[in-house]
Structure 1
Amino acid sequence: MGYATAHRRGRHLSADQVITRPETLAVEEPLEIRVNGTPVTVTMRTPGSDFELVQGFLLAEGVVAHREDVLTVSYCGRRVEGNATGASTYNVLDVALAPGVKPPDVDVTRTFYTTSSCGVCGKASLQAVSQVSRFAPGGDPATVAADTLKAMPDQLRRAQKVFARTGGLHAAALFGVDGAMLAVREDIGRHNAVDKVIGWAFERDRIPLGASVLLVSGRASFELTQKALMAGIPVLAAVSAPSSLAVSLADASGITLVAFLRGDSMNVYTRADRIT
């Protein structure tokens, strides 16, 4: 299996010296996702928690909703130069869906999924996402204390082990509304980090994720809000700013959107009634 970090030598320049020293870098590698043997997309990710990533991705795109929708997830062998045996390169994953679960339309996914760092954009997409979600986080009666939210970023930072060594990864974490951290994942792509924690819950049959908070280490984009909606998460919190479309989707979906969650302050853009 792949490693999350790699080591390279680099030249460090400061005001009074130039030195060559080893540096620890975050690994970025392609992962080809197949469904029932058919290639669907390739995403650039940091190796680790690949099974969670793929299942979280398929949940966020509306292909699956519950653990029983997936039969198996497995790495594929692939014949590449220097690997004539077809042994697994750990960069191709195939998901076998349960009977009756409709696979994604390959023609659509080839254009819709490939730019996963961008996601879908525009008013029509906002309406479409709201229609395909199988869960309604807007009806979740859970509340969370402001002081509990304020403590979450520090917990997330302490759990970012690879970021501490590389400075190069995004992170996402799931919390209960009582402040207990349930899972944290890191990745070169913020969308992948969210897919991984959602996939963690999916594998444990915890979807929809009621009475939970999704915290992301960067900004709150439309795509991340979409993923929270598809997983049934009632509260999305971000350390940085939200986008206008993220706020619109959160408002339409009844998701509490918190941003600029830093130190002793935060901005609450939607469903402020959940913050006590």
Structure 2
Amino acid sequence: MAVRSADGREFRDKVAVEEPLEIRLGLPDGTHKAVSITMRTPGEDAELAAGFLFTEGIIKSPEQIKQIRHCGLKIGKVKGALDRVASLNSNTIRVDLSDNASVDLKKLERHFYTTSSCGVCGKSSIDALRSDAKPIDNNGLEIAGEVVNSLPDELRKAQSAFERTGGLHASALFDASGEIDIIREDVGRHNALDKVIGKKFLDGELPQNNAVLLVSGRASFELVQKGLMAGIPIMAAVGAPSSLAVELAKEYGMTLVGFVRDGRFNIYSGDARIRLRSHR
């Protein structure tokens, strides 16, 4: 993209791609329903759709899914005046349920509109978010404080798209030694986490009860809720947590760490899982 700097110079710059994605659910009776529209960075759309449906409690297991596919033509398959039509069609993805799958249709009565900035809006109550999450088991998982401090640097090293554009959020799963397992980037922080959880969901690797989650922005209520749905016991954020995020983490036994940067962090919940150096 051609841009102009403050001193008047023209140069080419790379910007993060942001396009809408409509997620539709194909029901066993042959009908399908629009479930969500989100502004996202194209790529890993199937993971995003699966992760969203799982973390919202609409689907419970990968066996409930028959197939996930984009509707219509892919981007770039046609030329001329139909380009935009092709783009819009490829920005619709359908998750078809297996013939014997059943979902709570009452959950589908709440149509979601998700933006890259605010996450899921229009929830009728906080209780609706809490209804499907389970308390985190105390399995003895611990992570050293110095490992927590190392996570943002490891995340940044793995953020290939961020290095090119500077405009993407990231979510990543690590083990207790700080080894990175999976990372996803997106213009939306919620989408990045849905992609991570969606990948693990489709691979049959949930709950992630030995994982440490790091998110590149702040820790919101919705992100904590998604982490709880995936059974993640430790969540760390480069930014600040919200008050509701802290309350939810405490209620369900999740370790929540914020302001992980510049060699420091704050523990807001579950400090028993963080192994700190003793101060003398």
Please tell me the residue identity of whatever aligns with 2:110. T
**How far has the Cα of 1:27 moved from its partner?**
0.5
**How far has the Cα of 1:241 moved from its partner?**
0.5
Change beyond 3 A, Cα 1:86–1:106: farther
The one of 24, 30, 43 equivalent to 1:48 is 43
Change beyond 3 A, Cα 1:83–1:12: closer
The one of 7, 10, 21 equivalent to 2:3 is 10
Q: Equivalent residue for 2:24?
A: 34
Q: Take 1:56 and 1:148, find their aligned partners in 2: how far apart are those partners?
A: 27
Residue 63 of structure 2 is aligned to residue 68 of structure 1: yes
Residue 258 of structure 2 is aligned to residue 268 of structure 1: no
Change beyond 3 A, Cα 1:226–1:106: closer
**How far has the Cα of 1:267 moved from its partner?**
0.3
Q: Take 1:103 and 1:94, find their aligned partners in 2: how far apart are those partners?
A: 18
Q: Where does the alignment leave 5 or more consecutive residues of structure 1 unmatched?
A: 1-7
Aligned positions of 1:198-209 closer than 5 A: 198-209=197-208
CA contact (8 A) 1:53 1:196 kept: yes
CA contact (8 A) 2:36 2:114 kept: no
Q: Deviations over 1:3-59 (max 9, x none)?
A: xxxxx1011113xxx211111110100001000132111110000111111111011
Q: Equivalent residue for 1:180?
A: 179
CA contact (8 A) 2:37 2:114 kept: no
Q: Equivalent residue for 2:14?
A: 24
Q: Take 2:234 and 2:84, find their aligned partners in 1: how far apart are those partners?
A: 48
Q: Take 1:85 and 1:126, find their aligned partners in 2: how far apart are those partners?
A: 38
**How far has the Cα of 1:87 moved from its partner?**
9.4
Q: Take 1:137 and 1:26, find their aligned partners in 2: how far apart are those partners?
A: 35
Stretch deviating more after TM superposition (94-103 or 174-183): 94-103
Q: Secondary structure at the match of 1:54?
A: helix
Q: Deviations over 1:55-78 (max 9, x none)?
A: 110111001222212221011116
Q: Take 1:28 and 1:87, find their aligned partners in 2: how far apart are those partners?
A: 12
**How far has the Cα of 1:86 moved from its partner?**
7.4
CA contact (8 A) 1:214 1:233 kept: yes
Q: Equivalent residue for 2:109?
A: 108
Segments of 4+ in structure 1 off by > 6 A?
78-81, 83-88
Q: Equivalent residue for 2:29?
A: none
Q: Take 1:237 and 1:87, find their aligned partners in 2: how far apart are those partners?
A: 36
Q: Equivalent residue for 1:170?
A: 169
Q: Take 2:229 and 2:274, find their aligned partners in 1: how far apart are those partners?
A: 22
Q: Equivalent residue for 1:5?
A: none
Please tell me the residue identity of whatever aligns with 1:46. T
Q: Equivalent residue for 1:194?
A: 193
Q: Take 1:182 and 1:264, find their aligned partners in 2: how far apart are those partners?
A: 22
Q: Secondary structure at the match of 2:109?
A: helix
Q: Deviations over 1:134-155 (max 9, x none)?
A: x432444322111221111101
Q: Deviations over 1:73-120 (max 9, x none)?
A: 01111699626997984211000123233155476332xx21452436
Q: Take 1:33 and 1:148, find their aligned partners in 2: how far apart are those partners?
A: 37
Q: Equivalent residue for 2:231?
A: 232
User: How many pairs align?
Assistant: 262
Residue 153 of structure 2 is aligned to residue 154 of structure 1: yes
> Normalising by structure 2, what TM-score?
0.86
Change beyond 3 A, Cα 1:256–1:20: same
Q: Equivalent residue for 1:132?
A: 132
Q: Take 1:54 and 1:230, find their aligned partners in 2: how far apart are those partners?
A: 15
Q: Take 2:150 and 2:84, find their aligned partners in 1: how far apart are those partners?
A: 51
Q: Where does the alignment leave 5 or more consecutive residues of structure 2 unmatched?
A: 27-31, 276-280
Q: Take 1:77 and 1:103, find their aligned partners in 2: how far apart are those partners?
A: 27
Change beyond 3 A, Cα 1:107–1:74: closer
Q: Give the share of equivalent positions with the same residue, in percent.
A: 42
Q: Tell me the C-alpha RMSD between the 2 structures.
A: 2.5
